[in-house]
Amino acid sequence: MSGLVASELSCIKRDRVLFDRLSFSLQSGQLVYLRGPNGAGKTSLLRILCGLSQPESGTITWQSQPLGEHWFKDLIYVGHKPGVNGALTAIENLAFWCRQHSVSASLDHLYHVLAELGLVGMEDVPCRTLSAGQQRRVALSRLWLKSAKVWILDEPFTALDVKGVAQLEDKMKAHVDAGGAVLTTSHQALSERAGTVRFFDLEYRF
Amino acid sequence: MGGVFKRDLALAFRQKAELVQPLMFLLMVVTLFPLGVGPGPDTLQLIGPGVIWIAAILSSLMGMERLFRDDFADGSLEQLQLSGLPLYAVATMKVLCHWLVTFIPLLILSPLLAMFLNLTVDMYIALVITLLLGTPLLSLVGAIAVGLTVGLQRGGVLLALLLIPVFIPLLIFATSAVDAAALQLPYRAQIAIIGAMLLIAMALAPAAIAYSLKVSQN
Amino acid sequence: MWKWLHPYAKPERAYQLCNTLLPWFALPAVVCLVVGTIWGLAYAPQDYQQGDSFRIIYIHVPSAMLSMSTYVAMAIAALVGMVWQWRTAYMAMIAMAPVGAVMTFIALLTGAAWGKPMWGAWWVWDARLTSELILLFLYFGVIALYTAFEDKQQAGKAAGVMALVGVVNIPIIHYSVEWWNTLHQGSTITKFDKPSIATEMLWPLLLNIFGFALFIALVTTMRLKNEIIRREMHRPWVQMLVKQKETNDAV
C-alpha cells in the first residue's frame, strides 16, 4: 500500500478510550472528511497520524515505511493553533517556516502568496495585531508555499469568511485533482466546490 | 538550525521587557541582603558569593518559562516537530539562545553586584568563572523541566519546586570556589567539578529536553 | 531474555500478579518488623557510649537506607516504562513515590530526634540529614509534577523524566553535601563511624531493614492495585471483577 496507512490504532486520553483498533488509510487523489461529535478524538487521531503524538498501540506507515523524515517532507499540517508567532510579522513567520521546512521561496513569492490570500498591507505588522481570520490565512498560506503530497487540516475553516472558505475549498480540490491527498475535519459541511469527499466517522465511546 | 537561532534572537530583542525583568529582580534581591543582615563589609563578603548565586538561580527560574512557552502556546513547536529537523538539535539551539540573552547580561551586571557585596578581585574572578561554567548548566537542566511543564497552565512555582533541589550541588561548588578564592586557596577542583557536571548535562540534556517536549505534545 | 516479563505490562495481568504477591509480602513483613523491633528495642544490648538512645537506629537506619533505594527503584520503573512503553511501569513508579517520601520523612524525624541527645539540638546541618532533606524535596517534585497533569498517562511519563533527572543527581548531591559539610563544620563526629556494631545489635537491625523493605513492597503493591483499578475503571475486565465481587458478597 502506497499512501498513509494506519492499522490497529488505539488511543487513551485521560483514562478514557477514544478509539480502539482503528484502521485508516489515505491514498493519493482522496479527500477524506473526518466526522464525529466533540470529544470523539478527531484531533487526537489527526495528531497521531501526523506523528505529533504516539498512539497507545498500532502502527502507521507512509509509503510502506514507518513515519520519519520522508513523511514530514510530504506533509503539511495546519492544526488548531496557527503556529504563527504574534511578535513576528507575517513575512517573518512564513520565511522562518519555509527555511525550517527546507522550502525555498523568494521574498517576492511570499508577498505574492499573502496578496493572493487577501493580506495586502498586513505583511509587515506583528501578527498579534491581525484578526483571527487573518491569522488563520497566514497559517493556511503554507498550503500555497510547500508542495506536499498530504495535507492534514484540523478545523481549517474556523474564523474564515465566506470568500476564504471558498478559496480554501478550491485549493483543496485542485490539490486532490493533482494527485494529492487531504484529510480534514470541520464542523460545517464542505460544499460541492471541494469535489468528491469520502467520509470517515468517529464515534463517541464511553 | 541557524534559522531557529536567528528567530529566537529576534524574538528576544522584540520582547526586551521579559529579558530585563529577571535582571532587575536579581539586582533587587541582592540589594535586600545588606538591608536585611546589615552592611558590615566583612559580613557581606562572607555571604556575598552565596547571595549572588542564589539570586542568579532564582532569577533564572523566573525567566526560564519563556524558553518554550510561546512556541508551545501558538503551535510553532508543532510545526518545528513536523519539519523533520532533529528535535534535540532544535532544543539545544533554543537553550543556547536563551543562555546568551539571559546570562550574558547577568555577567555584565556582575561587577556591580560584586561591589555591592564587597567582594575582592580574586573572589570576583572566581565568581565570573563559576558563572561562565555554571549558568549553561542552569539553562540545560532547567530546559528539561520547562519542557515538562510547558503544557500546564500554572507551571511557574512547580518549575521552581522541580529545579531547586537539582541545582543544589552547583550552588555548593560554585560558592565554595569563590570562598576558596577569598582565602587565596586553589579552587581548581570546584571548577573542574562544575565543568564535569556541565559536560554530563551537555551530553544528556538535549535528548531529555526533546523527550520532555514530546511528552508535553501528547 | 526479559520476554517472560512482557505479559505483565498489561494492567490486567499486573493486577493478578499483585494479588498473588500480596500475601508473600504481608506475612514476612509483619514477622520481621515485630521480631526486629521488639528485639532491637527491648533485648539488644545497650550502646556503651550512647546508652539507650542509640536504639533509634532500628528505625532510622532502615528508613534512611530504603528511602534512597525506593527513589532508585522509581527511576528504574520509569526507565522500563520509557524503553518498553509500559503503562504499568509508570503506575508502579507513582505507587512508590509517596511511600518513599514517607520513608524519607521518617528518616528525617528519627534523625532529628537522635540529634537532641547527641548534639543537643533538634536540627543540625549534618551531611546525611541534609542529603535526606534534599531527597525529600526530590520526592516532592516528582509527586507535584504527577498531580499537576490531568492526563495521568502523560503525568507518569513527565514524572518519570524528573525521577531520572533526580537519580542522576543523587550521587552528585550526596558528595557535594558531604563536601560542603566538611568545609563548614570541620570534622564533626558522624553518627556512623564505620559500623563496628556488635552482632547482637546487628541481627535485629538486619531484620528491620528486611522488614521495612517488605513493608514498602507491600504498600506499593496495594497502591499499585488501586492505581490500576482507578485507571482502568471503564474497562470490561474491571467491571467483570466488580460483578464477581458483588455476587460473592450477595452469597
What is the C-alpha separation between C18 and C11, in angstroms, rounded? 10
The answer to which of B104-108, C30-34, C44-48, C60-64 has the lowest mean pLDDT is C44-48
pLDDT for the residue numbered C209: 92
CA A173, A174, A177: angle at the middle one, nearest 5?
A: 85
d(CA B71, CA A76): 18
| Three-state secondary structure call for residue B172 | helix
Residue A200 has a pLDDT of: 87
Which value, to the nearest 10 degrees, does the dihedral of the CA atoms of residues B176, B181, B185, B191 take? 60
Interface test mutation site (partner A, options C84, C234, C237, max chain A beta carbons within 10 A): C234
The rounded distance, in Å, linking the Cα atoms of B52 and B106 is: 10
C interface test, pick of B150, B158, B162 with most C CB neighbours within 10 Å: B162
Q: How many domains does chain A have?
A: 2
Is the Cβ pair B168, C166 closer than 8 Å? no
Three-state DSSP state, B27: helix
Residues near C74 by beta carbon (within 8 Å), at least 6 away in sequence: C93, C96, C97, C100, C142, C163, C167
Give CA–CA dist B72/B214, Å, rounded: 11
Residue B173 to residue C176, Cβ atoms within 8 A: yes
Contact (CB<8Å) C232/A15: yes
What CATH number has the domain bearing residue A60? 3.40.50.300
Average pLDDT over residues B28-47: 92
CB pairs < 8 Å spanning A and C: 16
Size of chain C in residues: 251
pLDDT of the residue at A188? 79
Query: Structure pTM?
Result: 0.91
A19 and A42 share one domain: yes
Question: Does A60 lie in the same domain as A50?
Answer: yes
Residue B178, classed as helix, strand or coil, is helix
Q: What are the residues whose beta carbons fall under 8 Å from the beta carbon of B34, sequence distance 6 or more?
A: B44, B116, B117
Asked if A31 contacts A172 with a C-beta cutoff of 8 angstroms, the reply is yes
Could you tell me which residues of chain B have a Cβ less than 8 Å from any Cβ in chain C?
Answer: 141, 144-145, 148-149, 152, 154-155, 158, 161-162, 164-166, 168-169, 172-173, 176, 179, 197, 200, 204, 208, 211-212, 215-216, 218
pLDDT value for C128: 85
Taking only the tens place, the pLDDT of each residue in A13-45 is 887 888 888 888 899 988 999 988 888 889 999
C 176-195 → B contacts, CB under 8 A: 176-177, 179-180, 183
Same domain, residue pair A29 and A1:
yes
Q: Decide if A16 and C234 are in contact by the 8 Å CB cutoff.
A: yes
pLDDT tens per residue, range B3-16: 888 898 888 888 88
Q: Are residues A23 and A67 in the same domain?
A: yes
CA-CA-CA-CA dihedral for C184, C186, C190, C195, to nearest 10:
130
Same-domain status, A19 and A54: yes
* Average confidence (pLDDT) over C125-133: 88
What amino acid occupies position B41? P
- Stretch B18-33: mean pLDDT, rounded? 92
Find the helix or strand (DSSP H, E) in which A57 lies: strand A57-62
Taking contacts as CB-CB distances below 8 angstroms, the residues of chain C near A15 are 151-153, 231-234
A46 and A36 in contact (C-beta within 8 Å)?
no
C134 touching chain B per CB within 8 A: yes
Pairing of strands A4-13, A16-26: antiparallel
pLDDT tens, chain A, 206 aa long: 578 999 888 888 887 888 888 888 899 988 999 988 888 889 999 999 999 988 888 899 998 888 888 899 999 999 988 889 989 999 999 999 998 888 888 899 999 999 999 888 888 899 999 999 999 999 999 999 998 899 999 989 888 899 999 999 999 999 999 999 999 998 778 887 777 888 888 887 76
Residues of C in contact with B218 (CB under 8 A): 151, 153-154, 157
A158 Cβ contact partners less than 8 Å away, ≥ 6 residues apart: A80, A132, A136
A17 and A62 share a domain?
yes
How is residue A52 annotated by DSSP? S
> Which tens digit of pLDDT belongs to each residue from C56-72?
888 999 999 999 999 99
pLDDT at residue number C117? 82
Please, are residues B44 and B33 in contact by the beta-carbon 8 Å criterion? yes
List of chains touching C (3+ CB pairs within 8 A): A, B
Q: What is the ipTM of this complex?
A: 0.92
A197 lies in which domain range?
Answer: 1-74+148-206
Tell me, yes or no, if A65 comes closer than 8 A to chain B by beta carbon. Answer: no
Domain ranges of chain C: 12-189+199-234
User: Same structural domain for residues A68 and A134?
Assistant: no
Angle (deg, nearest 10), helices B188-217 and B87-116? 140
Note the pLDDT tens digit of each residue in B92-148: 999 999 999 999 999 999 999 999 999 999 999 999 999 999 999 999 999 999 999
What domain count does chain B have? Answer: 1
